[in-house]
Structure 1
């Protein structure tokens, strides 16, 4: 609500500041009158740090004006129109169109979260705005619900406040350790000061989508130190309300900016959801293939070879350089946390005691995946998903073909091979995975056993898949060290009753580290089938794709 009559004055001989309508860390926003053109406008009076020297203040003012003029060149229906940039009494002002309506934050506060369709609509409009800005070399750097306006008459989504009061290229953490910006919506690489690019704005959009769907940022904590720890280190748990567009949210909240979902693909997936009403699938063929850098181009899988542990790959110059980059990033993230905790009066050592900071940080741990044929793992309690037994049995012959080979209606996507198993089933597995039979269970493992796809067949059990999975969940702490966050969901696989089990655990050794498991169990043709995927918590995005492909292409011979 504006304050009429307070400090009414005219700036630049033209703009009369009529009422204050907003205040924030960047300054004050006024409803004003352009007396030359006779129209209502919004004027942002930018605040500056009074502790700066005259020369520092001059440089900051010049950089701010330069960036404001760059934003003024942008033309997009979802970007605020900047009419003018003026200086009055050595203070810069940004003159913008006046939007009749509140912010997205106001809407959430007054009416609560929005549904998935509205969130997708908002997301598409913001992606269009960001795409236009990024194409012109302009970064937003402070994308959050408070900086998104909703026009009252048209429900137009308008992105405002393009980090105008921040110095271009500045890091998020100042030299004193205090925080500049909105930490709940700031990407990990900006926290560390490693880089700031278009990908950082896309991370912020992912956090914003979680907020509009649930009413709260997934990184909200009670302190600055807690927020920084949540962004950089903690498992990322999108809210349950994000399930209809979960692939988009997970893709945007990918900690590694090089693997983050790009704007064009995110917009395509959201449009697919609006058009079909179904959860979009990240394609595994040509186009956006986020997992391909982690899937070695395969040698064919030969099941008649004796089961063996895959040797570690010899590091190449490229992988060595990548490891060096990750190492530097880990050091910088740790340093950023220490600086931020010191500024907030929080012990970084205490917060990091149970989590290592590595190159990518632990990736997003999924919230419940969609309960459909393509999601859902589960396994009988007698099995331990992802852990091969110590005594392998002789391997039956398995032929894995290239992705062009089909089995009935099933086809292996690009980058996968179709495994025809002598045990009476087939499924698509990533090229380069090795088949390792372990008694009644069959494993397909990536080099080093980082990713493990497991399959088990058995006679039907009393109570069906749901009872089996609930029993497995109950036994989880005894079968999987550090078992936590177990969830069992009743679902279907095709027309067959099924149950989905998902959980996180500590792995079978310290070296292996925390893992996440997806597990689907169902009955079909008088048999019970169980398919699961186990992977490090930092690689659940790839694991989810492998799991979806395995379940979707699974066929009984």
Structure 2
């Protein structure tokens, strides 16, 4: 190549091109003053840009250097120098003989959950150090994660990093970053915060275990739209990382786990130790399976099973539960990130075309080649569409393979899979089981509702912990559902012969009624049964 062997700034001799992106090239170079190898990131000439745009681009590059230089941490690339080369700014960094996570995942390849957790630990350590230094990265993605031969994980490319309190270098309506990893709040034009970087970490972990970014669609516009409003597709290979990834990818930044909680969960996954003390604890595969629901007919939440002594059993949904209640399944986190196939009308995202135009405008600085990942820019879908209130008339279409059940005395109707039969009905709840008797869906009504569904679940859990030693909480979170206060609870427990997993969504306002939608099933078959919860939840209506 023509630049190979050229001397930059009278000191750095370019030896080998090791990465190239839309805006710049990274070289391995020799520092002839100190006799060491370095990485030199040099911007491309941009003849098509106006002088003002070039000045902004160069200032972004200098900011990258300043942002990274103020973070002293082994998981953040070290910046040695910033120099000019024929009028173009260059960043001189430590050279790390390595590839990137993006290269490792190229072509849909994946890594085991434990290895993803190890990489995630390096990433979260880097982000914690950056956030403590007042720096937001804003372009966390696999291509910016270096995997050194000695096992070190290094976060690089702070090209669009933002220092807290500093002025922005983007125009109104412009968003920079890689589209697949831009958090929902940034899509809506809201100011990013540390939680935005954590969302991108969640998207990176999702790709690491599933082989694709969580919301990637055929076009940039569809991807941006999906990130803003679509539920998260269920994971098949995440194993014990699944609860954490789901929690990181919730739409509301205030409801994501903190960096410390994320680190604790990743550490627990890597070590295989069950941790029930964090907001998003990860469990070993055995204890995670326990979260499914009931065992051989044992319902952890309803207590109406033949094996009620082996799993957390509960009485009624009306507050009389004496054993672990149905874990609130999807509330804010799961409810908004999984299952539902309904899409919000396009008018709910009035700036989607602007967003796409910004995406197409493209291109941030790739530190290394990353197998087709491209920096891009996306922009704001102004505000989250209003959450619909619970319908009181005609139900939504019944999903294929389901039939509608109407329970007049409870004032509810909901879809149930064909072949599932009524298992129990009281004045406070109704339940249906599948053909095996191992999976069960339960709808409960609490009248009147308490102060908040989360308080209800917490009181049930307190009893559960005492009476069911195999109970393991996966998550319990405050959220909202159809404009009402809600909570989601997920847990596992050991039945007579297998581990079960359960999910419970409770929603309703104090003084009115609280509704609880609960599913439990064998953990090993959770991927099969989990969509049942989503369809029952989405088709649930009150009838009076």
TM-score, scaled relative to structure 2? 0.58
Deviation at 1:124, TM superposition (A): 1.0
The secondary structure found in structure 1 opposite 2:237 is helix
Written as runs of structure 1 = structure 2, the 5 A alignment for 1:302-313 is: none
Deviation at 1:215, TM superposition (A): 1.6
Distance 1:333 1:27, change over 3 A: farther
Written as runs of structure 1 = structure 2, the 5 A alignment for 1:533-544 is: none
Q: Distance in 2 between matches of 1:180 and 1:284?
A: 30
Written as runs of structure 1 = structure 2, the 5 A alignment for 1:345-424 is: 357-358=384-385, 381-382=421-422, 383=431, 385=441, 406=463, 409-410=466-467
Q: Distance in 2 between matches of 1:516 and 1:171?
A: 47
Which residue does 1:230 correspond to in 2? 226
Q: Distance in 1 between matches of 2:28 and 2:245?
A: 35
Q: Deviations over 1:24-72 (max 9, x none)?
A: 1331111111111111111001247544433443354235313412311
Deviation at 1:516, TM superposition (A): 11
RMSD: 4.9
Written as runs of structure 1 = structure 2, the 5 A alignment for 1:242-253 is: 242-253=238-249
Distance 1:173 1:242, change over 3 A: farther
Q: Deviations over 1:504-532 (max 9, x none)?
A: 9xx9xxxxxxx99541269xxxxxxxxx9
Task: Say if 2:25 is the partner of 1:28.
Answer: yes
Which residue does 1:64 correspond to in 2? 61
Q: Equivalent of 2:212, from 216, 223, 231?
A: 216
> Which range moves more in the overlay, 107-116 or 256-265?
107-116
Q: Distance in 1 between matches of 2:9 and 2:92?
A: 11
Which residue does 1:495 correspond to in 2? 496
Distance 1:110 1:338, change over 3 A: closer
Contact kept in structure 2, 1:150 and 1:156, CA below 8 Å: yes
Larger Rg: 1
Contact kept in structure 2, 1:17 and 1:31, CA below 8 Å: yes
Contact kept in structure 1, 2:207 and 2:214, CA below 8 Å: yes
Q: Distance in 2 between matches of 1:75 and 1:332?
A: 46
Which residue does 1:485 correspond to in 2? none
Higher relative contact order (CA 8 A, sep 6+): 2
Contact kept in structure 1, 2:138 and 2:161, CA below 8 Å: no
Which residue does 1:137 correspond to in 2? 134
Q: Distance in 2 between matches of 1:194 and 1:23?
A: 31
Contact kept in structure 2, 1:499 and 1:520, CA below 8 Å: yes
Q: Equivalent of 1:334, from 345, 349, 352?
A: 349
The secondary structure found in structure 2 opposite 1:162 is coil
Q: Distance in 1 between matches of 2:12 and 2:70?
A: 21
Which residue does 1:18 correspond to in 2? 15
Contact kept in structure 2, 1:210 and 1:238, CA below 8 Å: no
Q: Deviations over 1:262-320 (max 9, x none)?
A: 110010111122233558675499xxxxxxxxxxxxxxx887xxxxxxxxxxxxxxxxx
Q: Distance in 1 between matches of 2:355 and 2:486?
A: 33
Task: Say if 2:72 is the partner of 1:75.
Answer: yes
Distance 1:275 1:302, change over 3 A: closer
Q: Distance in 2 between matches of 1:283 and 1:20?
A: 44
Which residue does 1:519 correspond to in 2? 519
Mind listing any 5+ residue stretches in structure 2 that lack a counterpart? Answer: 282-317, 321-344, 361-382, 390-415, 423-430, 433-440, 449-455, 508-514, 523-531, 539-544
Contact kept in structure 1, 2:102 and 2:143, CA below 8 Å: yes
Written as runs of structure 1 = structure 2, the 5 A alignment for 1:259-338 is: 259-278=255-274, 282-283=278-279, 334-338=349-353
Aligned length: 378
Deviation at 1:257, TM superposition (A): 0.8
Q: Distance in 1 between matches of 2:132 and 2:154?
A: 18
Contact kept in structure 1, 2:80 and 2:93, CA below 8 Å: yes
Contact kept in structure 2, 1:191 and 1:333, CA below 8 Å: no
The secondary structure found in structure 2 opposite 1:335 is coil
Task: Say if 2:185 is the partner of 1:184.
Answer: no
